[in-house]
Amino acid sequence: MQLFRKFYDLVRKLDNFLGMVAMAFIILLACANVFMRYVMGSPWGWVEEITVFSFVWLTMLGASAVIHVEGHCSIDVLVTRMSPKWQRIISIVGDAIVLMTLVLLIWFGIILTIKGQTKLTPILGIPYSYIDASIPVCCSFMLMYYGRMFWNSLLGKKNTSQIDGQEESRQ
């Protein structure tokens, strides 16, 4: 269990780090291209491809990070009015559906990534598989995060997540 915890923490840190790098890279690249366009009069044509590439990865990494801190919204007006027994049953069924969806996303994301090797971006000629790989990679992160939350729900434990270094628990 200790090994899983270390691996889990490593993936979480990698997920957060890659998201920050992607965001900083997009900002720096956009600023550099604005400078090239308005000051030098010669914008870089390839910046849009790299920005879109980075933004796709940033979006998927961000979705993964939000799952880790349990930050996605849900409408639970009906569920909160039910008995604790039914709330738990609905939570477990909902979590199982999310886990199955993530498994399907990983599977079809791998297929999309493999098929994307022959399709190239117009300017730089980068295979789309590098862009499409964000789906199975980040959905694997999401599966791990959500799997842990699901396991804790099955055991009846409170899920704890970290937001900005502070422990926060979900009941």
| β-pair partners for 127 | 120
pLDDT per residue over 147-166, tens digit each? 988 888 888 776 555 444 44
pLDDT per residue over 34-67, tens digit each? 998 898 888 888 888 899 899 999 999 989 988 8
How many C-beta atoms lie closer than 10 Å to residue 149's C-beta?
21
pLDDT per residue over 73-83, tens digit each? 777 888 888 89
**Is the pTM here over 0.85, yes or no?**
no
pLDDT value at position 163? Answer: 47
Mean pLDDT of the chain: 86
Structural domain of 32: 2-170
Task: Provide the b/e sequence for 51-61 (b: ≥16 CB within 10 Å).
Answer: bebbebbbebb
| β-pair partners for 161 | 168
Total number of domains constituting the chain: 1
